[in-house]
Amino acid sequence: MVEFQDVSVTYNSSGVDALNKINLKINDGDFAFVVGPSGAGKSTLIKLVLKEIDATSGTVLVNGFNLKKLRRGKVPALRRTIGVVFQDFRLIPTMTVYENVAFVLRVIDAPAKYIRSRVPYVISLVGLSDKAKCYPTELSGGEQQRVALARALVNDPQLIIADEPTGNIDPALSYEIVELLKSINECGTTILMVTHEHDLVRYFGGRIININKGSIDFDEVVGGAQDES
């Protein structure tokens, strides 16, 4: 669950009011698109959820943590409840698909036996079992993003944040990535997807949160074009 109560962010360095008294609630199991023009405050919102920055005022609650009260030492515990997928994949080029995904579990000292069963399972969920031994450079952009998704999923997070996940891939493959996020969401994971791609949002529909100049000017569930066909 993600909840923003009257949250504002002013960046000291620029004096910019990036978010202005935002109120927002995303329940467990929701799927929401976050849209809005460049500079609207979308990345600021994501940085708050990950506690990369703190709110200037207001309260941010994420997966049972009150971020204002969360001490530095507890931030890794918060972040373990969240999987993040970035536009530029951020895979480790010297590691295979399997190793990229396993790495997340190794860092948190997961038992080797668990890693051996969990990693192939998650790789199969994203349809890449036959590529497990490949290196990122041997994969298409869409496949690399699937690996990034497997890596975000492997720790069984409550929430996945996908920050422009389709920004670097072929438009036709973008739909597959969102389908995959949808199927992950159907298994109970909350998904927050930031995107500039209006065609995708129109096609899938669902909850759309539009941020404009630091304020939410639209937060509604709309039907998608796919529902009409």
Ligand X SMILES: Nc1ncnc2c1ncn2[C@@H]1O[C@H](COP(=O)(O)OP(=O)(O)OP(=O)(O)O)[C@@H](O)[C@H]1O
Residues at the site binding ligand X, with contacts judged by CB under 6 A: 11, 13-14, 16, 18, 36, 38-44
In the block, tokens 């799927």 appear at 31
Closer CB to ligand X, 41 or 206, in the complex? 41
CB of 118 to ligand X, least distance (A): 33
Please give the Cα distance from 128 to 198 (Å, whole number). 28
The type of residue at 89 is F
Closer CB to ligand X, 42 or 51, in the complex? 42
Closer CB to ligand X, 36 or 83, in the complex? 36
In the block, tokens 């409550």 appear at 158
CB of 50 to ligand X, least distance (A): 13
Closer CB to ligand X, 162 or 184, in the complex? 162
CB of 19 to ligand X, least distance (A): 8
Q: Describe the strand order of the beta sheet including 2-10 as a list of residue ranges.
A: 17-26, 2-10, 57-62, 65-66
CB of 15 to ligand X, least distance (A): 8
Question: Which of 208, 213, 211, 210 minimizes the C-alpha distance to 224?
Answer: 208
Other C-beta atoms within 10 Å of 190: how many?
A: 22
What SS3 state is found at 132?
Answer: coil
